[in-house]
């Protein structure tokens, strides 16, 4: 496994991290706990050092899973988690609203530390920007947590350009998370140039387009009733049928490189910037092995130009998130 530094920070992690949300929520029923613990430990054995979770995944269940899985190797890994939603810390009940009031951030951090079985969180993200709380107050609160030794690095997820600038002026931002892949290239316009300017690392989630870029999903695929993709316009049967043209172009490169579409999609992301660290998620060991193979896949300048030229001719159909979720991004 190769390593990368997140921007100008001293935080060095594996070139591919592991997004752990799907183990507990989002894509259907939670996976078997012991199998997921085994998967997480195999990932570490293969060189993965960045593990991404959040209090909202479950809620709470994913952090508890990560805490148990990594307890014996805590000093060898980087754990990233998130605050920012209005979740009752006793019951786990949530109302869908954001909550980044300073007192709530501190309470969430204490609860996360317990669930993660650690005394310090390596990377603490604001999960979504709270329009009711100035970002300076949020950054200032995380700065206090860093001074207290409870957090090492500050991150933002799905934040807008000016929000990132304002936060960074109070407490340097180590990493920004947002969706980014050949399926969603929105960050290229403004976000990536800003991160390069400020020396902030980028951690793309859904780097395989929520599974679409693997080539295993078509218009006939049926998702579990609790799978969030049932409510995503981009995953309507009609959109999937139209968008498969993107998968077809990736397959052409994959066949030539003796790789899989997923590996090409991840290698493309890794080739964009040296400070990009994608976090593909999976609940299957063979998918983990497949994804990690992308780190050693060398896409030439010609390969990248071919992909970009072909992709530019394809207009991806459908929004990447439901309308309500989109309203919580880029603020």
Catalytic-role residue among 27, 57, 125, 180? 57
Alpha-carbon torsion, ordered 182, 184, 185, 191, to 10 deg: -140
CA distances from 18 to 100, 154, 188 (A): 25, 19, 23
Active site residue 27: no
Asked if residues 261 and 16 have their Cβ atoms less than 8 Å apart, the reply is no
Asked if residues 124 and 109 have their Cβ atoms less than 8 Å apart, the reply is yes
* C-alpha–C-alpha distance, residues 43 and 45, integer Å: 5
CA distances from 140 to 98, 128, 160, 172, 304 (A): 18, 16, 18, 10, 41
Could you check whether the bond before residue 59 is cis, i.e. omega within 30 degrees of 0?
A: yes
Asked if residues 74 and 122 have their Cβ atoms less than 8 Å apart, the reply is no
Q: Any idea which residues carry the catalytic annotation?
A: 57
């Amino acid at each position: 496994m190769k390593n990368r530094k997140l921007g100008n920070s001293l935080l060095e992690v594996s070139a591919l991290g592991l997004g752990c949300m799907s183990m507990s929520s989002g894509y259907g029923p939670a996976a078997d706990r012991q199998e997921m613990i085994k998967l997480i430990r195999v990932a570490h054995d293969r060189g993965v050092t960045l593990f991404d979770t959040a209090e909202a995944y479950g809620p709470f269940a994913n952090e508890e899973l990560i805490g148990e899985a990594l307890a014996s190797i805590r000093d060898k890994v980087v754990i990233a988690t998130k605050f920012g939603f209005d979740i009752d810390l006793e019951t786990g009940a949530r109302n869908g609203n954001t909550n980044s009031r300073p007192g709530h951030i501190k309470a969430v951090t204490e609860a996360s530390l317990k669930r993660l079985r650690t005394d310090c969180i390596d990377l603490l993200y604001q999960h979504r920007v709270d329009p009711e709380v100035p970002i300076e107050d949020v950054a200032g609160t995380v700065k206090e947590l860093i001074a207290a030794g409870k957090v090492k690095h500050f991150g933002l997820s799905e934040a807008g350009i000016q929000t990132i600038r304002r936060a960074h002026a109070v407490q340097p931002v180590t990493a920004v998370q947002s969706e980014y892949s050949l399926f969603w290239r929105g960050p290229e316009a403004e976000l990536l140039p800003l991160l390069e300017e400020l020396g902030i690392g980028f951690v793309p989630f859904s780097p395989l387009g929520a599974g679409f870029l693997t080539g295993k999903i078509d218009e006939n695929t049926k998702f579990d009733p609790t799978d969030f993709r049932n409510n995503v316009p981009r995953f309507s049967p009609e959109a999937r049928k139209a968008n498969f043209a993107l998968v077809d172009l990736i397959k052409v490169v994959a066949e030539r490189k003796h790789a899989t579409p997923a590996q090409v999609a991840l290698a493309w992301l890794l080739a964009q910037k040296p400070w990009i660290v994608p976090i593909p998620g999976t609940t299957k060991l063979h998918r983990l092995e497949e994804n990690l193979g992308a780190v050693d896949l060398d896409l030439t300048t010609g390969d990248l130009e071919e992909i970009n030229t072909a992709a530019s001719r394809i207009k991806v159909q459908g929004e990447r998130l439901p309308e309500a979720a989109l309203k919580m991004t880029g603020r």
